[in-house]
Amino acid sequence: MRYTGLRVIAEGLLGQRGWKPVWRDPAPKAEYDVIIIGGGGHGLSTAFYLAQEHGITNVAVLEKGYIGGGNVGRNTTIVRANYFLPGNSEFYSHSLKLWEGLESTLNYNVMHSQRGLINLFHSDGQRDAFVRRGNAMINQGDDAVLLDRDGVRRHLPYLDFDNTRFPIYGGLFHPRGGTARHDAVAWGYARGADSRGVDLIQNCEVTGIDIANGAVTGVQTTRGAIRAKKVAMVVAGRSGQVAAMAGMRLPIESHVLQAFVTEGLKPIIDHVVSFGMGHFYISQSDKGGLVFGGDIDFYASYASRGNLPMAEHVMEAAMTLMPAIGRARVLRSWGGIMDMTPDGSPIIDKTDTHGLFVDAGWCYGGFKAVPGSGFALAHLIATGRPLETAARFRLDRFRTGVGLLDEEGTGSQHNLH
């Protein structure tokens, strides 16, 4: 089923009775070529690119809940390619290019909106760091524009420039950064994978990973055993628990990250804006809600709801930066379980068990990575070789010490945030 403007108009006139379910609800088969554990953004995009790029369609995505119920449907939807260090830099650059063609690739409106992202800075030292980052982005082929204080004021006139505790010195503008509708991304990839023959099996929790003679042979699930010679663990915040089923201990801590949305307001914020002196970033959804968040709660947890100290910190930062926000009413807050690595960078790799792959450690940034990660993991599964843009996301960097660091070098180390 292809979506066209004509079809939408025709269905509108005919009472919307011609639409079919967007994906099937198949029973699990006894065996697949590839099993992907986890029907989040990364699992679905991996299945899609396995089918689309490599013609591998005898694939099952096993999801313990429902498609889009994990972090892919809980994030604040920011899409950007503004990393500093080699490794992350080329990976997110590639991912953003995939985003830019995603709606036509999927024939699905994911509401990708390149409204521009502005990182504010509030000191000379921060300015230096952002100049370096901007240069790194430009070297990578991405876009970055250094704004002075007046430049920021032209874009974001509603910020407090005059009475604020942390004066705004300027900002790094990333015009191609922006947002997308998170659950539409999950639905679009699900639909694309399903229509190419992938089985999406919901309400199917993996409870064990079968291994014989050092090679994976299949999985145990709440809907029975399923065999496969290739299995990928793509379960975000549950990575530690699922890897333990294969006898592995991953360098990952799970933490809750909270987000907040206000009642719908008339358009006021037409960029993504991040504060440089506290943990706070904000954008406005197409429905009008101000969507904002901050940092992880500073303790490891599997609860998908957060605690008050971080909520208070985020609200304080919001009020410092744009006091007008105090008049908006917060409608909802929620949390998601984040898979935090010590170096704040992800893992896309084989494991010591033959045929068993891991895609994890996405920290705060896994939504914008959805296309790039699926593309890279599908390549690794299909060819046995890492994709060049993801070649540094190796598991053994935590053993060898030759590693990546994210832009702050913080990852799961709370006291460094």
CB 69 within 8 A of CB 40: no
Number of C-beta neighbours around residue 197 at 10 A: 14
Q: How far is the CB of 383 from ligand FAD (least distance, A)?
A: 22
Q: Can you tell me the distance from the alpha carbon of 168 to that of 322, in angstroms, rounded to the nearest whole number?
A: 12
Q: How far is the CB of 78 from ligand FAD (least distance, A)?
A: 3
Cβ proximity to ligand FAD: between 50 and 72 the closer is 72
Cβ proximity to ligand FAD: between 64 and 191 the closer is 64
Q: How far is the CB of 336 from ligand FAD (least distance, A)?
A: 2
Q: How far is the CB of 389 from ligand FAD (least distance, A)?
A: 16
Q: How far is the CB of 258 from ligand FAD (least distance, A)?
A: 6
Task: Give every CB contact of residue 84 below 8 A, 6+ residues apart in sequence.
Answer: 132, 133, 136, 137, 407
Q: Can you tell me the distance from the alpha carbon of 95 to that of 91, in angstroms, rounded to the nearest whole number?
A: 6
Cβ proximity to ligand FAD: between 70 and 170 the closer is 70
Cα angle, residue 63 at apex, residues 236 and 391 outer, rounded to 5°? 40
Binding site for ligand FAD (CB under 6 A): 37-43, 62-65, 69-72, 74-78, 205-206, 234-238, 242, 257-259, 293, 336, 338, 362, 364-368
Cβ proximity to ligand FAD: between 105 and 373 the closer is 373
Cα angle, residue 92 at apex, residues 90 and 97 outer, rounded to 5°? 95
Q: How far is the CB of 335 from ligand FAD (least distance, A)?
A: 6
Q: Can you tell me the distance from the alpha carbon of 380 to that of 374, in angstroms, rounded to the nearest whole number?
A: 10
CB 95 within 8 A of CB 373: yes
Cβ proximity to ligand FAD: between 131 and 330 the closer is 330
Task: Name the strand (E) or helix (H) holding 6.
Answer: helix 5-13
Q: Can you tell me the distance from the alpha carbon of 397 to that of 408, in angstroms, rounded to the nearest whole number?
A: 18
The angle that helices 182-195 and 41-54 make with each other, rounded to 10 degrees, is 40
Within its chain, how far is the Cα of 333 from the centroid? Answer: 18
CB 117 within 8 A of CB 83: no
Cβ proximity to ligand FAD: between 171 and 293 the closer is 293
Cβ proximity to ligand FAD: between 127 and 336 the closer is 336
CB 377 within 8 A of CB 46: yes
Cβ proximity to ligand FAD: between 82 and 258 the closer is 258
Within its chain, how far is the Cα of 278 from the centroid? Answer: 22
CB 132 within 8 A of CB 144: no
Q: How far is the CB of 211 from ligand FAD (least distance, A)?
A: 16
Q: How far is the CB of 161 from ligand FAD (least distance, A)?
A: 26
